[in-house]
Chain A
Amino acid sequence: MAFEAVKQPSRPLSIQQRFSLWKSSDAFTAIVFLAMPLFLLLLLKFYPILYNFVLSFTNYDLSPNFRFIGLKNYQEILTNQVFLKSIRNTLLFVVGTVPIGTVLALVLAALLNQKIRGRIIFRTLFYLPVVTSVLASSLVWRWIFNPQMGLINYSLKQIGIQGPGWLSDPNYALISLIIIQLWMSVGGNMVVFLAGLQDIPTELYESAQMDGAHGWQSFLYITVPMISPVTYFVIITYTIAIFRSFGLIFLLTQGGPSLSTNTIVWEIYQNAFGYLRFGLGAALSVVLLITILLLSIPARILQKEQS
């Protein structure tokens, strides 16, 4: 081959030449581009994961003399009624929110995915609660749920029902949080479903229509099965989002009344920043982290299969 005759000069390169060659290489550019982001990710992710783990075996409370106490923190979590209740409440929160929220989001997305006027307006309206801060949402819902003058109890009174105390009633506090959480999250999941629905080929619906299937039937027999990978993804991410929920509880109930809304995240915050029991808080964090990792493994595998 003619090209093979053109060879690099055999004379060794000078240090300067080598440096300028290295400077134009991908590796050098990568170091320059990645140095700052990687350093920050190290501080923000990898270091705290390890630190948290170490902390969970201590009785650290911000004072310099602390000891390693082995598994005592974990032992306390598994035996103390308060923490067991927080685990139970977290699961109830998930069970009360995720199934209803997922179905609502899918139905709304399917309705929006048709040839209708004002699609973008509807989508925008449904998404508004998602961009609204939990602070503003909490304030307005606390007002709506107000036992004496709130919108809900006032309306109930008009039809002769004496409404409950909602956020101040141990039997209704978690239900109130679930209602607010549903309002806050339906729009976000709906947009995820919308993105997924657009990937379903329209020919499927056309041929079903020719076979005589109508709206509801094609939803059940085409949309639901075709969208199931997205549904699965939504359920997992939704569950994790509820596990992480902090703002509503912090702003509205502070875990009460009588521990009816204390969740794992609330106990982490309360023990660390309320009682300065950082060791115990770290152990609770590890418990939560492991739960979430176990939940998200199937989601990762699924994502890999899709891509």
Chain B
Amino acid sequence: MNTLTIKRYIHSIPLAFVYIVLILASIVMVLPFIWMISTSLKVDAEIFGDTIRWIPSVLDWENYTYIWNDQKMEVLFRNSLYVSGLSVVVQVLLCSMAGYAFARLKFRGRDALFAAILITMTVPFEVLVLPLFLLVRQFPLAGGNDIFGQGGVGLLNTYQATAFPHLVTVYGVFIFRQFFLGFPKELEDAAWIDGASKSRFFWSILIPNSRPVIGTMGLFSFLWSWNDLLWPVVVVKVNSMKTLQAGLSTISQNPSRWGEMMAASVMVTIPTILVFLLLQRFLVQGVATTGIKG
């Protein structure tokens, strides 16, 4: 062996080690998903059998059709789609508008206002659930309430209420502001010389050129609203208005039919994984600017 091959040999040991560790770690991360899918496609006799089978001997789709009909998952899916759709569209719209005002417009008290909003970022949602629930329940002149918000259920059990915490987020305002701060000043000047107003510049130049940040925000706002559990559990009490997560939480607290439970898990997870795979190139950039992890 000459020195060159020895060197290569020494260097290839750590690299092989790196691959081994990474592959082992990915197996740990992915195994629960494989087990989930595998169980969902098994017949009961195999689920409760004596040996562990990773690949079912027969693919049985009955768990899927049974839980879909039993839990009225069509309704739950529709509710989740409405709430998430509303949340993503409104959140991207309002956060981009506010981010623009804080990044590119000059007005008195701007920085103080932005600092005040930023401080609330440290206040976790869990701490505000109580007063927000009361706010929704005591919403005046809604759901049988009088003008003082008494007597009825207010906006409980509505799509608006379920989407409420996702309509605008401080994270969103922050991430849009950061992006707009880095937008070249020359383009704004050029637009101004061409006679475009501030809002015209925003809608026809800034927004069409903000695809990365819109992608990041779209990904995060979808994940937040689709996967939200605490708020829909608190604010929706009738089955016909529940989201997927809230609707299935009652059966997941006391499960026994594992094949059906795993089929439900697979169906709940597919949309988030699809959206993530579609938009994941925006993920790293979003994390780098804000440090949020999804």
Task: List residues of chain A with CB under 8 Å of any chain B CB.
Answer: 24, 26-27, 29-30, 32-34, 36-38, 40-41, 43-49, 51-52, 55, 64, 107-108, 111-112, 114, 116, 122, 124-144, 146, 149, 151, 154-155, 183, 185-189, 191-192, 194-195, 214-216, 233, 237, 240, 243-244, 246-247, 250-251, 254, 265, 268-269, 272-273, 278, 281-282, 285-286, 288-289, 292-293, 296, 300
Given contacts A151-B35, A194-B284, 16 further A-B contacts (CB under 8 A): A29-B199, A30-B107, A33-B202, A125-B26, A135-B252, A139-B252, A139-B262, A142-B255, A191-B287, A214-B10, A250-B229, A254-B253, A269-B129, A278-B134, A285-B129, A293-B122
Q: Once A and B bind, how many residue pairs between them come within 8 Å at the CB atom?
A: 276
Query: Considering only CB atoms, which chain B residue lies closest to A272 in the complex?
Result: B130
Whether B150 and A44, one on each chain, are in contact in the complex, defined by CB atoms closer than 8 angstroms, is: no
| CA of A36 to CA of B168, assembled, Å | 9
The 8 A CB mask of B160-197 against A (1 = contact, 0 = none) is 00001101101001000000000000000000000001
- In the complex, B291 has a CB within 8 A of chain A: yes
Task: Say whether, besides A33-B105, A143-B261, A48 and B131 are in contact (CB < 8 Å).
Answer: yes
Partner of A116, one of B18, B110, B227, B255: B18
Query: A157 to chain B: closest CB distance in Å?
Result: 10
A-B contact pairs, 15 of them (CB 8 A): A26-B107, A34-B97, A44-B132, A45-B117, A107-B21, A135-B229, A140-B262, A149-B258, A151-B52, A155-B52, A192-B293, A247-B230, A254-B253, A288-B127, A289-B124
Task: List residues of chain B with CB under 8 Å of any chain A CB.
Answer: 10, 14-15, 18-19, 21-22, 25-26, 28-30, 32-33, 35-36, 39, 47-48, 52, 94-95, 97-98, 100-101, 105-108, 110, 113, 117, 120, 122-135, 150, 164-165, 167-168, 170, 173, 197-199, 202, 223, 226-227, 229-230, 233-234, 244-245, 248-249, 252-253, 255, 258, 261-262, 264-266, 268-269, 272-273, 275-277, 280, 283-284, 287-288, 291, 293-294
Q: Across the interface, which residues of A come within 8 angstroms of B30, CB to CB?
A: 125, 128
Query: B235 to chain A: closest CB distance in Å?
Result: 10
Task: Say whether, besides A285-B127, A289-B123, A292-B124, A251 and B249 are in contact (CB < 8 Å).
Answer: yes
Partner of A45, one of B128, B164, B245, B272: B128
List of 10 A-B pairs having minimum Cβ-Cβ separation, nearest first = A188-B293, A48-B131, A195-B288, A37-B98, A51-B131, A133-B227, A136-B265, A45-B120, A215-B14, A29-B198
Query: Is chain A's binding surface mostly helix, strand, loop or mixed?
Result: helix
Whether A33 and B98, one on each chain, are in contact in the complex, defined by CB atoms closer than 8 angstroms, is: yes
Whether A48 and B128, one on each chain, are in contact in the complex, defined by CB atoms closer than 8 angstroms, is: yes
Query: A286 to chain B: closest CB distance in Å?
Result: 8
Whether A30 and B110, one on each chain, are in contact in the complex, defined by CB atoms closer than 8 angstroms, is: yes
Query: A199 to chain B: closest CB distance in Å?
Result: 9
Task: Say whether, besides A134-B227, A191-B284, A215-B14, A52 and B29 are in contact (CB < 8 Å).
Answer: no
| CA of A292 to CA of B123, assembled, Å | 8
Whether B101 and A30, one on each chain, are in contact in the complex, defined by CB atoms closer than 8 angstroms, is: yes
Whether A33 and B100, one on each chain, are in contact in the complex, defined by CB atoms closer than 8 angstroms, is: yes
Query: Considering only CB atoms, which chain B residue lies closest to A64 in the complex?
Result: B150
Whether B36 and A140, one on each chain, are in contact in the complex, defined by CB atoms closer than 8 angstroms, is: yes
Whether A47 and B25, one on each chain, are in contact in the complex, defined by CB atoms closer than 8 angstroms, is: no
Q: Across the interface, which residues of B come within 8 angstroms of A32, CB to CB?
A: 199
| CA of A300 to CA of B118, assembled, Å | 10
Query: A225 to chain B: closest CB distance in Å?
Result: 20
Q: Across the interface, which residues of B come within 8 angstroms of A116, CB to CB?
A: 15, 18-19, 22
Whether B284 and A195, one on each chain, are in contact in the complex, defined by CB atoms closer than 8 angstroms, is: yes
Q: Across the interface, which residues of A come within 8 angstroms of B52, CB to CB?
A: 151, 154-155
Query: Is chain B's binding surface mostly helix, strand, loop or mixed?
Result: helix
Partner of A285, one of B130, B150, B291: B130
Q: Across the interface, which residues of B come within 8 angstroms of A237, CB to CB?
A: 291, 293
Task: Say whether, besides A139-B265, A268-B129, A273 and B227 are in contact (CB < 8 Å).
Answer: no
Whether B101 and A126, one on each chain, are in contact in the complex, defined by CB atoms closer than 8 angstroms, is: no
Whether A129 and B29, one on each chain, are in contact in the complex, defined by CB atoms closer than 8 angstroms, is: yes
Query: Considering only CB atoms, which chain B residue lies closest to A243 in the complex?
Result: B124
Whether A134 and B167, one on each chain, are in contact in the complex, defined by CB atoms closer than 8 angstroms, is: no
Whether B98 and A111, one on each chain, are in contact in the complex, defined by CB atoms closer than 8 angstroms, is: no
Query: Considering only CB atoms, which chain B residue lies closest to A27 in the complex?
Result: B107
Query: A158 to chain B: closest CB distance in Å?
Result: 9
Task: Say whether, besides A29-B105, A139-B262, A195-B288, A246 and B126 are in contact (CB < 8 Å).
Answer: yes
Whether A133 and B226, one on each chain, are in contact in the complex, defined by CB atoms closer than 8 angstroms, is: yes
Query: A242 to chain B: closest CB distance in Å?
Result: 11
Whether A43 and B135, one on each chain, are in contact in the complex, defined by CB atoms closer than 8 angstroms, is: yes
Q: Across the interface, which residues of A come within 8 angstroms of B47, CB to CB?
A: 149
Whether B252 and A138, one on each chain, are in contact in the complex, defined by CB atoms closer than 8 angstroms, is: yes
| CA of A48 to CA of B294, assembled, Å | 24
Partner of B249, one of A124, A144, A151, A250: A250
Query: Considering only CB atoms, which chain A residue lies closest to B33 in the complex?
Result: A128
Partner of A269, one of B230, B248, B287: B230
Whether B293 and A191, one on each chain, are in contact in the complex, defined by CB atoms closer than 8 angstroms, is: yes
Whether A127 and B26, one on each chain, are in contact in the complex, defined by CB atoms closer than 8 angstroms, is: no
Task: Say whether, besides A237-B291, A246-B126, A278-B134, A183 and B29 are in contact (CB < 8 Å).
Answer: yes
| CA of A112 to CA of B230, assembled, Å | 34
Q: Across the interface, which residues of B come within 8 angstroms of A130, CB to CB?
A: 293-294
